[in-house]
């Protein structure tokens, strides 16, 4: 099985609901990883702000994030730039993706490959 998880929730907007969503996303990634399935996580749009949150040792998802950090495909450069998250992304060592630039927008990642028949895709 192949699963692409896209995290696009805002950690600053309604933190309880957003935290619940990110816990679901990271837990699902952990389950796929432990079963030996192919899984990738991508942070898009305002979801790029999570990188700063996960860097805090006191954050409730800190350990869970670190357990699946190796399956993080990357972070949208455009999202990180627009939502002022680039410093947090760079401090975590996550890859800023710039392989696709929608018309009139900053570079982002080409997620199309994860929407094909071989992949299941969920957005949190």
pLDDT of residue 105: 52
* Residue 83, Cβ density class (10 Å: 0-12 exposed, 13-18 middle, ≥19 buried): middle
Q: What are the chain's domains? A: 2-123 (3.40.1260)
Of 52, 58, 4, give the one whose Cα is nearest residue 28: 4
pLDDT (tens digit, 9 = 90+) per residue, 72-117? 988 888 788 888 877 777 776 677 776 655 545 555 556 777 777 7
What Rg, from alpha-carbon coordinates, does the chain have?
A: 14
> What's the pLDDT band for 50 if we cut at 50, 70, 90?
very high
Pairing, β 72-76 against β 38-43: parallel
């Amino acid at each position: 099985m192949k699963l692409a998880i896209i995290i696009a929730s805002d950690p600053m907007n309604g933190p309880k609901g957003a935290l619940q969503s990110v816990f679901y996303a990271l837990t699902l990634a952990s389950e796929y990883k432990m079963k030996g399935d192919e899984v990738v996580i991508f942070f898009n749009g305002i979801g790029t702000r999570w990188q700063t949150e996960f860097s805090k040792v006191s954050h409730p998802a800190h350990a869970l994030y670190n357990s699946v950090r190796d399956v993080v495909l990357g972070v949208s450069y455009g999202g990180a730039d627009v939502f002022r998250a680039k410093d947090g992304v760079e401090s975590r060592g996550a890859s800023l993706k710039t392989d696709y630039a929608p018309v009139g927008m900053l570079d982002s990642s080409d997620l199309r490959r994860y929407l094909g028949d071989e992949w299941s895709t969920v957005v949190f």
